[in-house]
Structure 1
Amino acid sequence: MQAANETPERPPGRLHRARVLYRNVSKRRMAWHLLKDTVNSCIEYRILGLAAEAAFFTLLSLPPLLLGMIGLLGYVDEWTTTTTVASIERNILSASQTVLSERGVNDFAK
């Protein structure tokens, strides 16, 4: 049993093993190991592929979202004033022009 003023001994974990493993390693070699491990992790978990997939499906879902929001404005018009609906429509069109091309905005939104 330990005394009250003693700290309990931690079981050797991942951090402890890393400290023991890299105790006598120079900073340049440590930076190289960090870079190498980071690149290996990115390749193993295919970070770039997942980011590309997320960007593609986000971009793919924007036109239906814009169409739905513009279609919803017709129903919201009954509850709000026409200036509010016109303001919302202008905001949606200006936001869509930052993401889509001029042709895309004309084809989908206008």
Structure 2
Amino acid sequence: MLGLILYISLMMLFLGLAVRSAFRPAGTKTSGASREEAGAPGGPEAGNTAAEPASLEGVLAAQLLRGEISHGQYQHALERLAARDDVERPLSVPRNGDSGAGT
């Protein structure tokens, strides 16, 4: 009986640690180099050593997760990005069943 209690306690401890590390705020993760050493914008007062998003969509998603923008603002920004992308790189629809494969 004592073994079962010990086993359950250890499993709960490991589960708690896994959940805690999965939901840790982005500013508490370390990558080995500080933002100052890496020459990243924001300096040490930014307090975020996690890698910066590589795309505008990634920046918006990070802002949404940090609570800096609302869901509506996020959706509106993505709609504007899609509209801009449609103007800059429009998709073309194949004509007469031509898939365009191999051309």
Task: Tell me if TM exceeds 0.5.
Answer: no
TM-score, reference length from structure 1: 0.31
* Larger Rg, first or second structure (1 or 2): 1
Greater relative contact order (Cα < 8 A, sep 6+): 1
TM-score, reference length from structure 2: 0.33
